Each structure stands twice: as C-alpha cells, then as structure tokens.
Structure 1
Amino acid sequence: MNKTLFTSKIIFIVIFLTFFSSCIGGRKDTLDKKTLFSISIGKTENDLDYFREEGIPFQQKINLYMKEGLFYISNGKAGKIMKFNSYGDILFLLYNEKKNPTPILLSTTVNEDDRISNRVAYAYPFVDIGEIAVVENKILLIDDAVEEERQEYDEEIEAMLCRIVLRFDTRGKLVDYIGQEGLGGTPFPYIEKLQVTTGGEIVVMTRTMKSWLIFWYSRNGKLLYRVNILYNALPVPEGVSAIPSLETIHADRVQRKLYLKLDYYTNTSGERADPELNAEYSMSGVYVLDLKDGNYKDFIQIPRNIKKASNLQFLETETREYLYEFLGVTSGGYLFFLSPEESNREQLLILNRQGKVVQRTYILPSDRELVYSDFYLNPSGVLSALLCDENRVEVAWWRTDKIIESVVDENS
C-alpha cells in the first residue's frame, strides 16, 4: 500500500474518532435522576399553586427542604407549607384559611386522647411565606412577613424591617418567633436563606441594598453572632486586581463558619465600577469566614467551565464559558456547584475543602422547559430538586451522597 495514502487514512481516522467522541462525550457521565413523585398544579391541599405571566420573570416564593426522607414544600402564593413522604403522600399541612379550601385528605381535629392523627392540617394566618427549614427536633422554621403596622424602616441599614422566623412544633402549634435579637426580637430585613447546622443552630441570612446581614443563633434562639458583609468590602485574593461580586453565602454544617462564593471581574474602564459595566469575567472562588475571630481564612478557587460552542462547523474553535452556582456544603466539607449548560444539562462540580476536584459530572433535571426549579443539598450530600413546568411539578433526587461515600472509602 502507498505509504502516503496509509498515513492519510490513519490521520483521518484519528480526527474522525476525536470528533465523534467529542460529540458523545460526557453523556455517559450523566447521573441518574430518580423522580420520587409528582404534584399537580391547583388549589387542594396536596397541590402547588403558581402561575407564570408571559415575559415576566418568575418571582413567586416556592421552597424545598428535605430531612430524613421527608420533603417540606412552601408555597408562598397559597400561603401554605406541605410535608410529603418519598411516595408523594401528604402528611402534614400548615395553611392560611383565607387562601385555601378546607382540607379533604387531612384531618383538622385532635383525637380525644390528645394524640394527633398521622395526617393532619392546621390553620394559621400567614402573611407572606418565604424560606423554610427544619431543626433536629422537627421544629419547623418559617420565614413570614409581619403585618404592615409592625413594619418599620431602619435608616442605618437602609432597609424595611418586615420579616420574622416563626417556630412551629410537630402538632402545628406556634411555639414562638425569632427576630434580630433572638426570641421575640425586632423584625429582620428581607430574608434570603434559612439554614440549620447539624447541631441544630439556626442561621438567618438577610440582604439589604448595602450588605448581607447574617444572624447565627443557638438551637434555643439565643443570638450568638451578627455579621455584616458589605458589598464594598468583599475580600480579594492577594496579588489579584479585580472587582468582586458576591453570588451567595452558605453556612458550614458543623463549624461556625460562612462560605462566600465570589465572582471576580477585571474592570476594562480603569475605574472601580459595577461588575456588569465595562468588566470582563476573570475567576471565581469561595472564601471561608471564621466567625470566632471574624477573619477570612481559606480561599478555594473554582475551576472554569469552558466549552466548545454548539452548532459550529467542523474544526471551528469558538468557546463559551458557564459560571457555577454554589449549592452549599455537606457536613463532611464537600462543596457542590451547578453550571447550567446547553440542552437542559447542568454540570455538577464537587470540590473538597482544599479545592481538589472530587467529581465533575452532569445532571439532566428535565427534558421539558422549566418555569422554576429549587435545589436542596442535605448534610450527607443528597441533591434533591423541585422542578416546575407549565403543567406539573416533580420532586426528584440524585444520590450524590454515594460519590462522597466512595471518596471517603478510598481515603480510609
């Protein structure tokens, strides 16, 4: 055979295989999703009530919280909180009577011996439900607005004080509420997140126009720390000249630490300005803030996610970069990130505290266009999600805790 012809065939085969593998590569790394149950859109006690107006961003508060295999879902528009088992059976409901019909599937009465039926509903006059969380003793935490006459403007932080954290027991009885100073305290500004540590300590994360204000409480509601993280004083790695933009904050599950996920931009205008104006993306990372001494400790740099753009001609090299969203940290110190890509796929990145990549894989939340989604990472590393489209709602999970377990086994 002609040597030149043989060499040309080899080169063609190598190029073809490289191109073919790049077309299918990554699909085999997609994690299996398990759809646990579906929820109808409607008004009854086990429905989710929401709507989407064409051309208007979805802004209704719907939250998912998973604990011990039970799923708690808050529905702000309907003024209710539902608890489901993993089969989709509704077990518990707290609801505003003015916004909901009388429950049919659940009991609303107490038995004569003062024991409560397994499936119960309780009425409470919620004003505007937001975030939810569950403490170890199954105390339910609910972010709600106070009545308008109790709201006041704080000139120092330039924000309206209008939210409190209600605490309900397993009988649906209001125990008390948490405000800024602790039990019965002053209302908070807008609450961004409610988080609970493995020891039952409560973290209330609020936002104003100037900063994140974070309140850390004991399991009994005693204020331990109040942290003010100003937007104009965010940390930047040594030797880096960039503008920081704070994406989100998560609490450590075990220690009294906060994880700040920051995106850094290079200012092309030569002035300190809004990162969205005249700035180019540079890098992302997570700073760890130790509340005991108030100092930033570790900086964990996040790898970049750069992909070849789709719909290109053969051998074209245009690329596209996708930023990661910080989902939180497990009790073992593993950091989870999601990066939405094309074709409804999202890249899942898991880092350890040293910044080493533990896993880089994909999930496919839905093959349909979603109106809204809410992800929840539990302390052991199970990733669950509430996936809402125009017609129905799915509750699903990915057993990402198995990835963590395999890493621990390898290192033991």
Structure 2
Amino acid sequence: MKRFVSILCLLVVVADFLISCHSSVEEGKIQALFDLGYGRSDSSIDISIQNKNSVDICLRKGIFHLLSRGEAKILRISSYGQTLAMWYDPKKGSAPLVLKDVQMSDFSSEEDLGRFAIQVSFNDPGYIATDSRQMLYVADAQVVRRFDSDGRELPFLGQEGIGGIRFPVITALDVLSNDDIAVSCASESEKAVYFYDRNGTFLQVLKWDGQHMPVPVSVAENHPNASGSRIIASLESFLPCFLNGKRVVILKINYYSEKYDPSSGVTISIEPIGGWIMVTDASSGAFLNSFPLQSSLEDLGIDQQMIAAQSNDIFCIRWRDVGLAGEVFRFNQQGRINGKLDFQVPDDGASLIAMIIGDDGNLYMLTQLSSKLRMYTWKILTLR
C-alpha cells in the first residue's frame, strides 16, 4: 500500500510538471526536450554503424520508452530526460550506472524499488508499445512480451492471446487509443493485424492479400483499364488504430497508370496517379472511407508518408531533399487538412534516429548529433 501511495504521488508531481512543460510549447515552434549520450548505460544509447536507426520509440502520457535493438535495452524516460527504468540483457554489454539493479524476485517485497534497472533475457526485440497504464509490450522472437508498470514480466501474447502460438513475422506493434493491442504481421501470401484487449484477450484478426488492392471509383473512371493500359495499386503502408469508436486499419495506397504493348506485355511507361488513404473496418474488412492525399491541387500525395492516427485524424509527412526538414499534414477523415507543420532540425548534419506522433498530437524526433542524441518536439499548427 505504501508503495502504491508513493507511486501515485510521484505520478501527480510528474503530471503537473508535464502540463506546465507542454503548455509552453508554441504551435509550429521547435523545442529541445532532452539529450542522451552515446554508450551502453542507463542514460545513453549505443548508435554504432551497424545499429544506426535501429531504435524504436513510443510515448504515452508524457513518458517515453526507447528500444535500442542492437543492445536489447529499453529505457523509460520522462519528458525532461530523466531515466526512470531500464530493461536490459547483460549478455549484450549494457549495464546501469545510476539506476538500482533489481531482480524479478525483488518485486514480491513491499519495498518501493524507485528508479530501477532489471535484467531480462531478450531474444531479438524489434518493436515496443505502451498503454495508458505504462504497461510495456515488446515484440520479441514472434511473441509479444508484457511488462507491468513496475517492470514485472507477465505471460506473453501469442496469436490466440495469452500463451498462444507464435505470430508470423511481426512488422509493427501498436497500442490503440482505447488500450487495445494490435500486432501487425506479414507473410509471403498475406498481411494480418491481430487485435487484443488490454488484458490480452483475443478480439479479432483482419487478413488480406497485399497484392490485390481496391481502386477508388474516381481513379477507375479517370483511368479505365483497356488494351494497353491498366492501373497499378501499390500498398505503401498500413496502420491499425481506433477511430470513431471502431477498430480500423488504415491503408496508404499509391496508384499508377501503366502503358504497355498488348502484344508483348512490355511496359512502355508508368505515370503516377496519386496516393490515397483507405479506411478498413477491422471486424468486417469493409472499406469505410477513402480520400486522396492532396495538400494542393498539384499535389499527388505519393511522396507523403503516413505516420500516425490520433484523435480521429491521420498524420502524414513529406520530407525535403536538404537537411532534416519537411512538412507534416493532419487530415480529418474527409481528407481536409486541419493541421500543418513546417519543421526543420537546426543542427547541421543531424540525422533521424526515430520519430513519433505522441498521444498529445505533437511531433517528436530523436536525432543524432555529433556528440549526443537530442529529442526535439513541435506542436502542429491548427488550421481554422
């Protein structure tokens, strides 16, 4: 009980700080949140040549979790850069410097462990996600391992739920805004998203053939298939989320018009038509909505990358050719842009390690500088 009260008090203090911190972020303005060093401790990440860009990041209620895949290490970090917890595999060479090193058996006591580091035998951790309780989910060797907010490991998730069989190759791991868990998988023949509630109970799975994509009516009418001409639909990415009270999977599909020789089948030319968003009901597989990704009349949307869905909006990013810079567009479900951000990292030579749209709707980027890693954030400008 004492431990619960102390944790609750800590959360209240942190929440008050985060509110004051985030309220100071002006729309469209960049803010440097915190720095991390290079290394294998509890306040650094190893970004060697082979591990560069091998970091996954998630953010929930102002708390970051960072997975360094090459180290098999996960850091829990506050929005002002203090490491709160660490899960690490000592066989990979990492070790805590400041945090208290604890064992799983220590969780059975009533002692408040405070800021802890715990040894975990990882296989090949690839993706992480957290829910509103700060439960940590780790995709590791085709299962999803679970750790409660205190760091204690719980039974893993498989296809049928807790203790189920292994997944196909996991390509992404997400916790939706309602705390449902979504495990995205891919095989040679199909793609699939498995859904579970916050307790690990299996809800449903959506499977589809990634080679046969739907074509919007307007695209089909303007570019009819005929002898010597056909439409190519290319699935760029998909994202499970919870929109308007439903579990859905959002597809980003790029369409092209191919001209070919009917006698030989040889391609003569391929011209871009445009990038579209298709919203799919996870329960039935029915297509609920679609719209073209257009920031202007001339914009085809093919170079826009879908990165998130929050608060019933869909976020896409377009990179510039020079520097770590670009544009973020926030679309409503009718395809109207209701938010926009022009961003640029000010440090010359900075490179991107990982990025995320937080549950607060802000853009966060972990960047590599010459002597450290730096977390930046921007508040996306709301368009009236």
For normalisation by structure 1, the TM-score amounts to: 0.75
Partner SS state of residue 49, structure 2: coil
Residues 305 and 270 (structure 1 numbering): CA distance in 2 closer, same or farther, change over 3 Å? farther
Distance 1:128 1:373, change over 3 A: same
| Stretches of structure 1 lacking an aligned partner (at least 5 in a row) | 1-28, 146-162, 308-318
| Cα distance in 1, alignment partners of residues 27 and 61 from structure 2 | 26
1: distance between equivalents of 2:254 and 2:122?
37
Partner residue, 2:162: 183
Tell me the residue number matched to 2:233: 244
Residues 50-95 of structure 1 deviation map (CA, whole Å, 9 limit, x = unaligned)? 2226xxxx77531111111111100010111001111211110000
**Aligned match of 2:356:** 376
Contact 2:275 2:302 in 1 (8 A): no
Q: Hey, what does 1:118 align to over in structure 2?
A: 114
Alpha-carbon distance between aligned partners in 2 of 1:387 and 1:321, rounded to the nearest angstrom: 26
In the TM superposition, 1:11-410 aligns within 5 A as 31-52=28-49, 61-109=54-102, 110=106, 114-145=110-141, 163-239=142-218, 240=220, 241=223, 242-254=231-243, 255-269=246-260, 278-303=269-294, 323-331=303-311, 333-344=312-323, 345-389=325-369, 391-400=371-380, 403-404=381-382
Shift of 1:370: 4.1
The AA in structure 2 aligned to 1:252 is C
CA RMSD of aligned residues (A): 2.7
Alignment-derived partner of residue 311 in structure 1: none
In 1, the alpha carbon distance for the partners of 2:281 and 2:55 equals 31
**Matched-pair contact (CA < 8 Å) for 1:38–1:392:** yes
For 2:211, what is the secondary structure of its paired residue?
helix
CA apart distance, 1:210: 3.4
The one-letter amino acid of 1:38's match is D
What CA deviation, in whole Å up to 9, does each residue of 1:343-393 have, x standing for no partner?
322011111111112134311135333444322112331221222245421
Q: Which residue of 2 aligns with 1:18?
A: none
Larger Rg: 1
Identify unmatched segments of 5+ residues in structure 2: 1-25, 224-230
Separation in 2, partners of 1:281, 1:330: 29
Identity of aligned residues (%): 22
Q: CA deviation at 1:320?
A: 11
Q: Residue 268 of structure 1: SS of its match in structure 2?
A: strand
Counterpart code for 1:251: P
Give the Cα separation in 1 of the matches to 2:268 and 2:127: 32
Q: Distance in 2 between matches of 1:359 and 1:201?
A: 26
Q: In the alignment, is the contact (CA less than 8 A) between 1:322 and 1:339 conserved in 2?
A: no
Cα distance, 1:229 vs. partner? 2.3
What per-residue deviation string (whole Å, max 9, x for no partner) do you get for residues 268-310 of structure 1? 3368xxxx99522210010010123221121111016799xxx
Q: Is contact 1:336–1:348 with CA below 8 Å preserved after alignment?
A: yes
Summarize deviations over 1:312-339 as a string: whole Å, max 9, x none: xxxxxxx9997101011112x1111110
Which residue identity does 1:250 align to in structure 2? L
Q: Distance in 2 between matches of 1:213 and 1:81?
A: 26
Greater share of strand: 2
